[in-house]
Amino acid sequence: MAKSAGAQSADLPQQVVELRREVDDLAQRLADRRRTVRDELAALRAERAELERQLRLEKVRARTLSQLEEQRRQRVEDADQQSRAWIAPARGTVDAARSYVRASLPFKTDERLATLDRIAADLAGSAPDAGRAMARLWRFVEEEQAMAREIAMAQQPVELAGKRRLVDVVRVGMALLYARAPDGTYAWAVAQDAGWAFAPITDAKSIELVAALFDAFDANQRFGPRRLLIPSGLGDRPTTGGSR
C-alpha cells in the first residue's frame, strides 16, 4: 500500500506536466480559433461594407435611371402632343396641295394625287406621325417646284377625241403640255371652266411648231431657243389658242 502511494507521488509531476501540456495545447487551439474567428469577422465586415457600398451605388443608379426615364417619357409625351397639334394643319396642307394638283397642268395628275392620298392615309391612321407626313409633303412640294422649272418629255394616258389613249407628252414647266398620239395626232392641254382638257391641234402652222418640239426631244436636242405654241391669255384659263 505504501509503495503504491509512493509510486503515485512519483507520477504526480509527470501528470502535472501532461496536464499543463494539454492546457497549453487547448489554449493555443483556442487562440488559433479566436484568430480565425476574428479574421472571418473582419472579412465579413469588409464584405458587408462592400455590399453596402454597392447597394448605395445601385440606389443612386436606380434614382438616376428613374430620372432619365421620366425625362425621356416627358420628351416623348411632349413630342406626341406637338405631333397631335400638327395633325389638323397637316391635313389642311394636304387638302390644299390636292386642290393645287387638280387645278394645275394635267401632267400625271393621278400619280401626283396618289402620292397625296398616301400621305393623307398616314395622317388618318390610329397613330399618325405628323412629322413624317410633313417631311413627305415637303418633298412633294419640292418636286412640284422642280417640275415648274424644267422641260421634259414623258408618257401618260389622256382623254383625246373621246378615247383614253397613251400618248407622248412634252411639258414646259407647269405652263404648257403638248401631246402626240401614236397615229401622229397632236393636242395640247387647255384650261376650261370645267377643268383641263386636251384639245386637238388642227392648223398646219401650229402642228409644225409642236411637231418640231417633239422632234427635238426625239433627237435629244431639247435645249436652245425654240418657238412655242402658247394659248392666248395664258394664265387666265383660256379657251382659244394661237401661236407665239
Please tell me whether the overall predicted TM-score, pTM, comes out greater than 0.95 for this model. Answer: no
- Percentage of residues in the chain having pLDDT higher than 70: 85
> Could you give the CA distance from residue 167 to residue 182 in angstroms, rounded to a whole number?
7
Is position 160 within any domain? yes
Query: Are 133 and 117 contained in the same domain?
Result: yes
- Report whether 107 contacts 156 (CB < 8 A): yes
Query: Are 158 and 214 contained in the same domain?
Result: yes
Is position 169 within any domain? yes
Is position 134 within any domain? yes
Is position 68 within any domain? no
The pLDDT value recorded for residue 238 is 34
User: What digits encode the pLDDT tens for the residues 101-149?
Assistant: 999 999 999 999 999 999 999 888 777 888 888 899 999 999 999 999 9
Look up the domain containing 166 and give its range.
151-218
Is position 21 within any domain? no
The pLDDT value recorded for residue 71 is 84
What 3-state DSSP class applies to 183?
Answer: coil
Is position 133 within any domain? yes
Asked whether the predicted pLDDT for residue 222 surpasses 80, the reply is no
Domain count, the chain: 2
Question: Which pLDDT band, with edges at 50, 70 and 90, does 8 fall under?
Answer: low
Is position 52 within any domain? no
Is position 12 within any domain? no
